[in-house]
Structure 1
Amino acid sequence: FLLSSFISQEMLQTREYRGLGLMSGSSLDGIDIAFCRFLVRSGQTGQTFPLVVDEWEMPAAETRPFDPSWRRRLRELPAGSARELALAHVEFGQLLAHEVTAFLAAHPVRPSYIASHGHTIFHWPERGATLQIGDGGALAARTGLPVVCDFRSQDVALQGQGAPMAPIAERLLFDGYDLFLNLGGIANISSGLGGEWRAYDVAPANQVLDRLAQQEGKAFDENGRLAASGQLLEPLLAQLDDLPYYRRPFPKSLDNSFSSEEVWPLLAAAPGSWADRSHTYCEHLARQIARSVRELAGQAAARMLVTGGGAFHAFLVDRLRVHCGPVEVIVPEARIVAFKEAALMALAGMLRLEGLPNFLPSVTGAGRASVGGAWYAGSEGAAAIFEPVDDSPEPPRH
């Protein structure tokens, strides 16, 4: 489904989209929901991207926490049976619909579509496979809203990594920065320096930092206090820095098994307190991010926007500022920090509806740009997905 089947872009220059972006990340803290409004118009001939976002806002956003049973279920699902996977796919879609309904009851907003990332269970781009559960059909049926989902599959089929998606949002929504770092369950970095967008996954972030904090009975390391109280374990740092993934060239991406099968065994076997191990992992993560910054920006002064839950980890951000040299590390307002990825999904869904690329081959390594996402009609079919905006000049007054 493409809107271009129904409208002429030349006839309708400016239009407003109201999207609900849903994100379920590998840190398993819950479902991030962001309502975004985009005022867009077609780009001019010769522009690098055929769409301009004139205005955008995120007036409502919320994290709907997972209950312990869903958190456990999602964590164990990669080792489950085909039957368990099939049921979880449908039931997670039903859960998304329940949380969307609760969100809409709490906030006075009217979305015209939903863009849902789903929850990643498997990501094997080298084998042409990626799977995010959360049945879009169930979500559309229960909410009555059109749904865009399954964003990554086509890029992977085109021999891409299917990740990261963030550079599209950064290109269209966040002007004035040279580098973008997302500290979610997995840390990823992107840059448009030199006129070409490059991006990749750096290392596990919150999925490891949270698990370390949980060994001390905490859900997460608030403000990085646990890590700040520890000491550096040099042998552990050397083992972490020597993991083969860090020597691979980009484009590259990580799935959750890297954290559980390669990183966590090193942390679990290390001597020292959990505070020491958390301190050491922060140092490792900051060093790997700084290495990526040098690969993308060299030694030039640059501005890096840092978002994701890890941006609230004061000790980690301090270590980033130490290791990133001339690069200015900027943490924006809390809503952008927490919900940038959900806003990205709303934007990616809008691009899918416009028939425009939401994956860049320079980022993912795919054979070409792709318009990722499957579409499920809402109760009104193709109607009411966008609203035209009258941008014609007013007639002169006499």
Structure 2
Amino acid sequence: MLVLGLMSGTSLDGLDLALVRFLDGGKKYKLLSAYTHSYSKEWISLLKDARKLSKKELSDLHINFGNLLGQLAVAFLKGKEKPDLISSHGHTIFHQPNKGITLQIGDLDRISLITGIKTVGDFRQLDVLKGGQGAPLVPVGDDLLFSEYDYCINLGGISNYSTLYKNQRIAKDISPCNIVSNIFSSKLGAEYDLNGEFGKKGKIKDDLLHKLGTWSYYTKGKSLGIEDIERDFIPIFNDFELSVEDKLRTFYEHIAKMIGSFLVGGKSKKALFTGGGVKNSFLMNCIEKYSDCNIIVPRNEIIDFKEAIVFGLLGYLRINNRINVLSSVTGASSDSCSGKVSNI
């Protein structure tokens, strides 16, 4: 089955589109084409501030973002083989699973209407209704497509990992990642910290490093929303009068320590790293210092598009009535075949 996977992440760097053919019951894939559409300043602002909107305004944004996704899909697919399915993550606006709330915008009917292709999405809601976190969702792809690795780590807006433990896939959001470094980089006039150059200029501040490590999420949390980070994590930095570079340097050390604590077992264990944070060479050096495993950095198309590929897989599994959300990962009462389907 040929599937177009769409992924819009919390770091707001753009929409990832991946045209993927799934083979052997979803155990193999072939990436035919992939592209990242960078959001305009207007769309970045709209998505960033969406939590402040009224119910009517948010409903309008849901429709308009669906229109955008449909239009971008049509443009991307021009001259390519028409997929059997579009599988869209949407863009997360609210994620508070402990309150039974998760919302990803991007109207599926609009995508299906504009493209003329069956579209599936809204993968998190059913799991949350079953008492789960609705996240992480990528581990089912780690299980089926990347099982040769002992650990799969994604350095996106939020860092997360998955691994096999006692024959069950387990996973967790580890820490804030690019969301925070991008915020600090913007204060220095850049969209992101290229190769960690800003952070490299700073110094580790032990008091701040210790305070970050005491964040309550680390003792009781399983999945993170940007609301949690803005409400409870970023304010920690505000208690310290430091340069932006010192804050970034200390943050990188913090991320490295948190991620490294999950990567155990020695150099015989392979840890696959993907996501935009992998391109921050200074951050990767920090992580390697704390990791006990053999860190594997794949080719760029996997670094950039693994999540879009896996969300394509989630849609493929949903259409074939197979499990695509693992309760061993999310904490739900049972596994799910999750996702709503639009076929206009």
TM range (shorter): over 0.9
- The 8 Å contact of residues 123 and 255 in structure 1, kept in 2 or not, is answered as yes
What amino acid sits opposite 2:19 in the alignment?
F
The alpha carbon displacement at 1:298 in A equals 5.5
The alpha carbon displacement at 1:72 in A equals 0.7
Please state whether the residue corresponding to 1:192 is helix, strand or coil: strand
The alpha carbon displacement at 1:109 in A equals 3.5
- The 8 Å contact of residues 35 and 109 in structure 1, kept in 2 or not, is answered as no
Per the alignment, residue 144 of structure 1 pairs with 116
What amino acid sits opposite 2:283 in the alignment?
L
- The 8 Å contact of residues 266 and 294 in structure 2, kept in 1 or not, is answered as no
**Which of the residues 148, 161, 179 maps onto 1:207?**
179
Per the alignment, residue 372 of structure 1 pairs with 338
Per the alignment, residue 278 of structure 2 pairs with 311
Per the alignment, residue 54 of structure 2 pairs with 81
TM-score by length of 1: 0.84
What amino acid sits opposite 2:317 in the alignment?
L
Indicate whether 1:97 and 2:70 are aligned.
yes
What amino acid sits opposite 1:335 in the alignment?
E
Gaps of 5+ in 2: none
The alpha carbon displacement at 1:177 in A equals 0.6
Q: Aligned pairs, how many?
A: 344
Please state whether the residue corresponding to 2:24 is helix, strand or coil: strand
What amino acid sits opposite 1:259 in the alignment?
I
Gaps of 5+ in 1: 1-16, 42-51, 379-398
Give 1 or 2 for the bigger CA radius of gyration.
1
Indicate whether 1:241 and 2:213 are aligned.
yes
Provide the C-alpha distance between the structure 2 equivalents of 1:207 and 1:89, rounded to a whole number of angstroms: 22
Alignment of 1:312-327 (within 5 A): 312-325=279-292, 327=293
The root-mean-square deviation of aligned C-alpha atoms, in Å, is 1.4
Provide the C-alpha distance between the structure 2 equivalents of 1:246 and 1:292, rounded to a whole number of angstroms: 12
Deviations 1:127-157 (CA, angstroms, capped at 9, x unpaired) = 2221101000011001100000111110111
Indicate whether 1:30 and 2:14 are aligned.
yes
TM-score by length of 2: 0.97
The alpha carbon displacement at 1:111 in A equals 1.3
Please state whether the residue corresponding to 1:145 is helix, strand or coil: coil
- The 8 Å contact of residues 141 and 313 in structure 2, kept in 1 or not, is answered as yes
- The 8 Å contact of residues 267 and 294 in structure 2, kept in 1 or not, is answered as no
- The 8 Å contact of residues 3 and 86 in structure 2, kept in 1 or not, is answered as yes
What amino acid sits opposite 2:49 in the alignment?
E
Per the alignment, residue 236 of structure 2 pairs with 266
Percent of aligned pairs with the same amino acid: 38
The alpha carbon displacement at 1:102 in A equals 1.5
The alpha carbon displacement at 1:259 in A equals 1.8
What amino acid sits opposite 1:122 in the alignment?
F
Provide the C-alpha distance between the structure 1 equivalents of 2:176 and 2:157, rounded to a whole number of angstroms: 6
Per the alignment, residue 292 of structure 1 pairs with 262
The alpha carbon displacement at 1:272 in A equals 2.4
Provide the C-alpha distance between the structure 2 equivalents of 1:299 and 1:243, rounded to a whole number of angstroms: 28
Provide the C-alpha distance between the structure 2 equivalents of 1:58 and 1:271, rounded to a whole number of angstroms: 47
Higher mean alpha-carbon deviation, 350-359 vs 72-81, is at: 72-81
